[in-house]
Amino acid sequence: VNRVEGKKPYVELQDSAGRSDAEVAEEYWRATHSRENSVITFLFTGQFKSVISCECGRSNTTFEAFQAVPLPLSQIHERTMKVRVVGLCQRPTTKQVTVRTNALLHDVADALLKDEDGDMACTFSLISYSSPYITQRLPMEEIVTTVRPEQQLTCFLYRQPRPGAVCIFLLHRRFEKTPRYFLDP
């Protein structure tokens, strides 16, 4: 609440004319508080220093009051992802995992395994697919933000193969057949 009642006074300020910055700043500060006298003004008002110089060598310093301080907005530091988990001898399930945005895809798979019961000595692969095709096998060293939100992920869990073995994923997708009725014209 401004404690200056009635008409606010007009204050004409002098040029700096070689005076010290402290003296000029104090003059501008008094002028500001003669028009705006409140707790908010005392707590949240600051001054910008502005120096205008001429080619002739003269300069003038002013101190403008401000109450807005730009602050950065908080950024999203976490990402929630839905991943379909195809486990060892288990039915596929869909799980939701929240990880930091600077996490690696390896961390996503680790978070999925943390929730799994049973044998933890297994290997995993993250696959990105766009129905009905597998798009790519995702490198575990990639950062989470490289996965687009519309990408569908599947995490395949399998036992550690012996050295030099090749792991092949065989996928089968069942298509629902719908009866078609044809009418003769």
Give the list of residues 6+ apart from residue 53 with CB closer than 8 angstroms, or none: 59
Residue 153: is it exposed, middle or buried by C-beta count within 10 angstroms (0-12/13-18/19+)? Answer: buried
Pairwise CA distance, residues 140 & 146, whole Å: 11
Higher local confidence (pLDDT), 28 or 71: 28
Q: What is the pLDDT of residues 51-65, one digit of tens each?
A: 999 898 888 999 998
- Give the rounded percent of residues in the chain with a pLDDT score beyond 70: 73
pLDDT tens profile 83-113: 888 776 677 888 888 888 888 888 887 887 7
pLDDT digits (tens, 9 = 90+) for 115-167: 555 444 456 677 776 665 666 777 778 888 888 877 788 777 766 666 766 65
Q: What is the pTM of this model?
A: 0.43
Measured between alpha carbons, how far is residue 120 from residues 40, 97, 123 in Å?
A: 59, 18, 9
Q: What is the DSSP letter of 50?
A: E
